[in-house]
Amino acid sequence: MPKFSCLTWNVENLFPPGIDTGNGVMVTSEEYEAKLAYLVERIGPVAPTVIALQEVGHESAVADLAERLDGGYPAWRVSSAPDARGIRVAIMAQVPIVGVTEIRALAPGELAVVPDWVGRPPVTTLGRGALRVDLDVPGQPIRVLTCHLKSKLVTYRGTGGAARFEPNDEAERAIGAGLALVRRTAEAATIRIAIADALASVPEATAPLVVMGDLNDEPRAATSQLLTGPEDSDATRADRGDRWRLYNLTDAVPRQGDASADKWFLPKGERYTRVYQGQRELIDQILVTRSLLGEAGEIRQDQWRVKKVRAMVDSIAREYLAEPSPLTRVGRDRPDHAPVFAKFAW
């Protein structure tokens, strides 16, 4: 029986000592070691087949984490396209990585160029490049894509090139939020097109694909819905749309009837992954193709290949981000996002 598990985690400012995290702020060796120890403490017991990381400050941090996980993740890749602060996505795997695709440019078409602040050139790339790998999982090859979409936290133009996180007035705030939304929309569309391209080369979309990451919006936000692809009101019914669809394991999987028939894998008390100024947000998500849910007949009998989905919210029980700037949290051992884990068997 093939088995597979995955975990996604925004590890927040995973920078090695000596690397500028932004505006000259750096972590100490003690802070770095404490953070690695905490990541190992949470990852080790669940031992996922593949780990998707966001906010990695340097590829050496992934190498250090792999080493501290006792060599259990010999295969890893780090995106070569970080943002201006140097943070990027990465993937670590227990199994061989047999193919790597980097996604940086916005998809061709109407959203290939999006506006930025006046005086700046338009945006033509993802703020943080996405990464897709092909895994040689015993019994079933699996493709995994991780991304970190544009944050709702707006960076305003500061003096001397420094980043500013507080607007000068309401007009600037509204424009900044609008620019961020347009950019996140273009990024989500780019990822969706990359997913369709990946599935197009697979006969009948039989090879499972998993999308994980920090989407910076709730599962039913418009940008998140772009990633799921064609709508489906009943996952038990096979049709032509199955080739392209993704199902969000942190949201309800639709079945025939009203909302009470929908399938929830994520426990009710864990339907958030971050707390921002006292408000719970579910912005770290795992989406999968239908083949990882099960056959239509199995689903109708409530038999699923998905065996467990958890958001490890106890890891953020004492985290409360009151400050608008992420630089105020540099050096914290616990990320401000909870890891999300899913386990499958078929």
- The 10s digit of each residue's pLDDT in 211-249 is 999 999 999 999 999 999 999 989 988 888 888 899 999
Residue range 3-345 forms a domain whose CATH class is: alpha beta
Quick one: pLDDT at residue 152? 84
pLDDT tens, position by position, 178-207: 999 999 999 999 999 999 999 887 765 567
Quick one: pLDDT at residue 318? 64
SS3 assignment, position 156: strand
Structure tokens at 307: 């065996």
SS3 assignment, position 147: strand
Quick one: pLDDT at residue 296? 85
Quick one: pLDDT at residue 205? 53
DSSP letter, residue 128 = E
pLDDT tens, position by position, 16-42: 999 998 878 899 999 999 999 999 999
Those residues whose C-beta lies under 8 Å from the C-beta of residue 39, and which sit 6 or more positions away, are: 9, 11, 14, 65
Q: Give the whole-number percent of the chain exceeding pLDDT 90.
A: 73
- Taking 80 as the threshold, does the pLDDT of residue 256 lie above it? yes
C-beta pairs of 37-45 under 8 Å, 24+ apart in sequence:
37/68, 37/333, 38/333, 38/334, 39/9, 39/11, 39/14, 39/65, 40/65, 40/68, 40/69, 42/312, 42/315, 42/339, 43/7, 43/9, 43/69, 43/339, 44/69
Q: Give the whole-number percent of the chain exceeding pLDDT 70.
A: 95
Confidence at 2, pLDDT banded by 50, 70, 90: confident
Q: Which of 5-19, 66-80, 305-319 has the lowest mean pLDDT?
A: 305-319
DSSP letter, residue 114 = B
Q: What is the mean pLDDT of residues 121-139?
A: 96
Quick one: pLDDT at residue 63? 97
- Taking 70 as the threshold, does the pLDDT of residue 176 lie above it? yes
- Look up tokens 């989407």; give the residue: 215
Structure tokens at 124: 């033509």
- Average pLDDT value over all residues in the chain: 92
Quick one: pLDDT at residue 160? 66
Confidence at 83, pLDDT banded by 50, 70, 90: very high
Q: How much is the pTM? A: 0.95
Quick one: pLDDT at residue 271? 97
Amino acid identity, position 330: V
Domain positions in the chain are 3-345
- Taking 90 as the threshold, does the pLDDT of residue 257 lie above it? no
Nearest to 345 by CA among 303, 312, 310, 289: 303
Quick one: pLDDT at residue 87? 96
Q: Which residue has the higher pLDDT, 189 or 323?
A: 189
Q: Which residue has the higher pLDDT, 46 or 323?
A: 46
Q: How many other C-beta atoms are found inside a 10 Å radius of the C-beta of residue 253?
A: 21
